[in-house]
Structure 1
Amino acid sequence: MKPGCYIDSGPCDWQIIQQENGSAKVGLAGRYLPSGEIPDRQIVFVRVVREESSDTVLPWLPATIHEGQRWEISLELPVGGLYRIETSLKPDGLGIEYAFRGDMVHHIGVGELFVITGQSNSAGYGKDPIFDPPELGVHVLRNNGKWDLATHPLNDSTGSIHPINAEMINPGHSPYLSFAKYLKRELNSPIGLIQASLGGSSLGQWNPAESGELYGNLLEIVKSCGRLRGVLWYQGCSDTTITLSQTYGERFANFVKSLRRDLATPNLPFFTVQLNRFVADPGPWGMGDEGWSRVREAQRCAAKELPGIFVVPAIDLPLSDNIHNSSYGNVMLGERLAKSVLKHLFSRDLQADAPDIAAALATGGRELRLIFDNVSSRLYAFDLKPGDLPLSIFDESGEIEIEDYSIEDNMILLRLSREPGVHGVVHNQYGANPGYLSIIDAMSHLPALAFYGFKISKDL
């Protein structure tokens, strides 16, 4: 080996590091091989420059020298990048420009770090072509344990060191490159993605109170990267059986609580996606219409009942096959998630929350008022016929038909075929494959969140 400085531990090429209060602390350590007869008069220096220009970010700084020709240093890097970390070994009495060579780390960024969790629509199974190119400053920790420029498919299993989440078939396009590029543009800082999802995975594989095998893998991966800004979660199709769907909310809450505890981040945000649709017959797959509706309802309620949980809709997105979002749908979903992050983590004034049912009030006779939160201007139902609305009303006597309706701002007035009984409920977009058109916010065009079994109250 030639004289110089060698890095044994520290950040890797292409790594994105989570910023805190505008900077990130980065530790490096290694060894050096001196030249000549006076090794105690040779000093390790480290500097940081901008990758694109070599302009100085941090000037040459002396490292701490230890016995056995070891060295270490702690650097505080400002938000931004991409950066290059350089090392050198400077003999006493010589200028730094004549120092001996040293190892370097390339394409480092300090910004926001998100972990991708969930099943196939999180892993990305969009199969149709779309222009969604890579971009410097949007990087991914791949399954081979190495940081890289983020490109599709993010869940590539080539050289994986995590066999537990290796895909059985090749994934394709996911929402999260679009998500990360949108955030990078708005925040003007690098975005890092940690890939941990698995197609077909059940909530039980992520919940340490059940099998938890993917949970353990997730912890191992995240702890190797430091702190996170948030969790990206899209899962639920595998839990749409009647039995599993009934406990989905409780089990998801345990997953959230456990991950926050084990990462020592009690307020770790989760950005979740309410399930899209399954257009095949769900019966032979062990699923059911009620199960799909129950899981969507649990996802809706989690965002209302658990702090730091946010949900975006996907029910209106196009599909690539019978269950997976298309590439076009994924681009739309990535932008929805990015807007939710900008609104809830960075206080941006955006229309990022979908309309959500707040009250169902029987006003006497055959009228029912549905009142929604998160409506920026007014609701819009595409002027559908009453029978084509995605709403359905039931009570102890069965289904109640909708004969007519009108919309005023955030309220839908339904005129029913009969007055609801004591145990009346209303559903929105019930089943695995509900009606395609949704009730939307006329300004943001976000569809109202699907809901199931929402109780009708008497308007006194």
Structure 2
Amino acid sequence: MNLTGGLCDRIVLQRDGDGFADARFEGATAASGAVEARVLCDGAVVEGFEWIEVGRAANGRFAGRLQGLRAGGPYEITLRIRHQGEVATTCAVRDVLVGDVWLLGGQSQMQGAGFFSEDSRLEPHPHVRAQYMDDQWDVAREPLHNMEVAVDPVHALIDGGPPTCEPFRQQGPGFSFGLDMQRRAGVPQGLIPCAHSGTSMQQWDPAEVELGGASLFGAMIRRLRHAGGRVKGVIWAQGESDATAECAPHYGARMRAFIEAVRRHAGDPGLPFVMAQIARSGDAGEDRAAWNSIQEQQRRLGDEIHRCALVPTIDLELDDTIHYGGAAQVRLGRRLADAAWSLTGDDQTPRPIRLAKVTLQSNPWRELAVFDVQFHNVVGRLVAGSRPEGFAVLDASGRPLPSLYRTRLHGDRVHLLLYHPARESGSLRPPKPSNLSVASWPMGIQASAPFPASRRTAGTSPARSPAHSRHLASPGRRSGRATRSGPGRRRWPARCRRRTRPGPSGCRSRRWRCAAGAAVPVPRPWGFPFL
């Protein structure tokens, strides 16, 4: 008996919803008859697994299905073929675990491009294992993608020869992810690395599945079947190679087709899919519009596809103009675990931070426009270790405006203050919402779970407050300081002084008097007390 898929030494079998293994296996044999199995754990026979029939052998092949092994292990599984009461042949696999198995796919960020450092080196765990590129299972350790021994020819075809890796630059997020998921779930974790550096979604085309190991998608599905055909979910880090004017418009459609195809081949229409959003780029030659388009399409995929989560990476430190550093890869792995656990584990675990909405508020008399960017799933509040930065405001053609002068954090919101003169025919008018949008590469802004970058067209302008509503600001002293009913204080320009007089219905209308002496009317607040 020669096993060719589904069972091997040190494998992790995927458990079902009740916590038991349900694995299919196959192989080659010259014998025929019933396939029987016996399972041992700690030297004792597992109850209900004393030479039970699990499959059949005929025509040079055998296949079977092993069900009912409880999550945990390690188990020793012995198979035999009985024909007319006689044992024809046997084989055994040892150190088998039952838990959760994950596919790891994408390009260089998943394959591992971070430099190893003291802060990024993690100790292996005997219950976190990997199916390495040579199809052999073992305890997981970096690098997971040992490309030099890959059995699938696609990796050599892409590289134009045997794949090679830099020995000190192979840190990826998968190992950290596996360790964190084992800690959370309390069951063994199996990792199936399938990524390849520098690949686009066109190269991951599901239509090439029939090519098997000669295509990226075919190689992933072959490795899935070799591991028993069932997994807990997919973690994915890819998109940089699609950030071009030619590829970016098709990215969303290709990702949808890819996710649907993976779920179909895994036999689970709701298979959890966790993506890492592409980070910022320090390469001046990159197409920034296409780069931001990929970020936005990924954000929308995380919102619109069932059981799909997006993990932000915009704040992670880089080892070059694109790739995350070793310590950042460890952090990314833990964020992927957070998102995966929110989809598969504790229902109380918050989902990753995501953009809720962007609205535009204008104060034409002060020549200001304010974007109110609100996020969902913020644990606590948004904070920054230093001055928050990284946002940009784009005009209708996608070019950044230089007039964004301040970024403020307020709970789960980011306020972008924009100087926006809009003089038309001697009067001041607010900017049109359809002519502005927000792009972001936010740096150092975090909560318990950081938020994805976004590019979104601004919403509608806010309505004015009622004519006689209570003002948010109360009259201040002549020194130029004003107070308001809420927290925080406001300082008026030093060159101006403020006069107040009673207005209709007892409220106070306000006027500024500039140094030149000209009185300029100031409207009542439009609902942004943060100005």
Q: TM-score range by the shorter chain?
A: 0.7 to 0.9
Shift of 1:294: 0.9
Partner of 1:208: 206
Describe the superposition over 1:163-188 as per-residue Cα deviations: whole angstroms up to 9, x where unpaired. Answer: 21356331611111110111111111
Q: Kindly indicate whether the alpha-carbon contact (under 8 Å) linking 1:155 and 1:197 is maintained by their aligned counterparts in 2.
A: yes
CA distance in structure 2 between the partners assigned to 1:414 and 1:66 by the alignment: 67
TM-score after normalising by structure 1: 0.81
1:186 to 184, 187, 198: 184
Shift of 1:30: 8.5
Q: Please state if 1:82 is matched with 2:74.
A: yes
Q: Kindly indicate whether the alpha-carbon contact (under 8 Å) linking 1:124 and 1:173 is maintained by their aligned counterparts in 2.
A: yes
CA distance in structure 1 between the partners assigned to 2:432 and 2:63 by the alignment: 77
1:411 to 398, 410, 413: 413
Describe the superposition over 1:346-403 as per-residue Cα deviations: whole angstroms up to 9, x where unpaired. Answer: 134334512424232325543422222122222224452xxx6322223359726234
Q: Summarize the alignment of residues 110-189 of structure 1 with structure 2, pairs less than 5 Å apart.
A: 110-129=98-117, 130-166=120-156, 168-170=163-165, 172-189=170-187
Describe the superposition over 1:186-243 as per-residue Cα deviations: whole angstroms up to 9, x where unpaired. Answer: 1111111112110111110112368993122222221332112111110011111122
Partner of 2:269: 266
Partner of 1:439: 445
Q: CA RMSD in A?
A: 3.5
Distance 1:273 1:45, change over 3 A: closer
CA distance in structure 1 between the partners assigned to 2:63 and 2:409 by the alignment: 70
Partner of 2:40: 49
Q: Please state if 1:11 is matched with 2:7.
A: yes
Partner of 1:230: 233
CA distance in structure 2 between the partners assigned to 1:217 and 1:423 by the alignment: 45
Name stretches of at least 5 consecutive residues in structure 1 with no aligned partner. Answer: 1-5, 35-39, 91-98
Q: Kindly indicate whether the alpha-carbon contact (under 8 Å) linking 2:22 and 2:65 is maintained by their aligned counterparts in 1.
A: no
CA distance in structure 2 between the partners assigned to 1:400 and 1:306 by the alignment: 35
Please say which of residues 291-300 and 449-458 is displaced more in the overlay: 449-458
Describe the superposition over 1:38-62 as per-residue Cα deviations: whole angstroms up to 9, x where unpaired. Answer: xx9xx99743233xx4354336613
Q: Kindly indicate whether the alpha-carbon contact (under 8 Å) linking 1:47 and 1:58 is maintained by their aligned counterparts in 2.
A: no
CA distance in structure 1 between the partners assigned to 2:383 and 2:66 by the alignment: 56
Identity %: 26
Q: Kindly indicate whether the alpha-carbon contact (under 8 Å) linking 1:112 and 1:192 is maintained by their aligned counterparts in 2.
A: yes
Q: Kindly indicate whether the alpha-carbon contact (under 8 Å) linking 2:272 and 2:343 is maintained by their aligned counterparts in 1.
A: no
Q: Kindly indicate whether the alpha-carbon contact (under 8 Å) linking 1:381 and 1:440 is maintained by their aligned counterparts in 2.
A: yes
Distance 1:316 1:74, change over 3 A: closer
Q: Kindly indicate whether the alpha-carbon contact (under 8 Å) linking 1:381 and 1:389 is maintained by their aligned counterparts in 2.
A: no
Q: Kindly indicate whether the alpha-carbon contact (under 8 Å) linking 1:393 and 1:424 is maintained by their aligned counterparts in 2.
A: no
Secondary structure, counterpart of 1:206 in structure 2: coil
| Aligned residue type for 1:203 | M
How many residue pairs end up in the alignment? 423
| Aligned residue type for 1:17 | L
CA distance in structure 2 between the partners assigned to 1:251 and 1:88 by the alignment: 45
Q: Please state if 1:401 is matched with 2:389.
A: no
Distance 1:101 1:216, change over 3 A: closer
Partner of 2:22: 25
Q: Kindly indicate whether the alpha-carbon contact (under 8 Å) linking 2:383 and 2:445 is maintained by their aligned counterparts in 1.
A: yes
TM-score after normalising by structure 2: 0.71
Shift of 1:123: 0.7
Distance 1:30 1:197, change over 3 A: closer
CA distance in structure 2 between the partners assigned to 1:81 and 1:250 by the alignment: 41
| Aligned residue type for 2:410 | E
Q: Please state if 1:58 is matched with 2:58.
A: no
CA distance in structure 1 between the partners assigned to 2:283 and 2:27 by the alignment: 57
Q: Kindly indicate whether the alpha-carbon contact (under 8 Å) linking 1:260 and 1:266 is maintained by their aligned counterparts in 2.
A: yes
Q: Kindly indicate whether the alpha-carbon contact (under 8 Å) linking 1:405 and 1:414 is maintained by their aligned counterparts in 2.
A: yes
Secondary structure, counterpart of 2:203 in structure 1: helix
| Aligned residue type for 1:295 | I
Secondary structure, counterpart of 1:243 in structure 2: coil
Distance 1:45 1:230, change over 3 A: closer
Name stretches of at least 5 consecutive residues in structure 2 with no aligned partner. Answer: 421-429, 464-531
Partner of 1:372: 375
Partner of 1:391: 391
Distance 1:250 1:45, change over 3 A: closer
Distance 1:72 1:315, change over 3 A: closer
Secondary structure, counterpart of 2:359 in structure 1: strand
Distance 1:455 1:296, change over 3 A: same
Distance 1:62 1:71, change over 3 A: farther
CA distance in structure 1 between the partners assigned to 2:165 and 2:29 by the alignment: 44
Please say which of residues 403-412 and 220-229 is displaced more in the overlay: 403-412
Describe the superposition over 1:299-352 as per-residue Cα deviations: whole angstroms up to 9, x where unpaired. Answer: 111101121211101111122333222211111111111111111211343345
| Aligned residue type for 2:434 | H
- Rg larger in structure: 2
Secondary structure, counterpart of 2:216 in structure 1: helix
Shift of 1:245: 1.4
Shift of 1:28: 6.6
Partner of 1:278: 281
Shift of 1:15: 1.0
CA distance in structure 2 between the partners assigned to 1:189 and 1:258 by the alignment: 28
Q: Kindly indicate whether the alpha-carbon contact (under 8 Å) linking 1:379 and 1:408 is maintained by their aligned counterparts in 2.
A: yes
Distance 1:280 1:114, change over 3 A: same
| Aligned residue type for 1:176 | G
Q: Kindly indicate whether the alpha-carbon contact (under 8 Å) linking 2:394 and 2:439 is maintained by their aligned counterparts in 1.
A: no
Secondary structure, counterpart of 1:165 in structure 2: helix
Q: Kindly indicate whether the alpha-carbon contact (under 8 Å) linking 1:427 and 1:454 is maintained by their aligned counterparts in 2.
A: yes
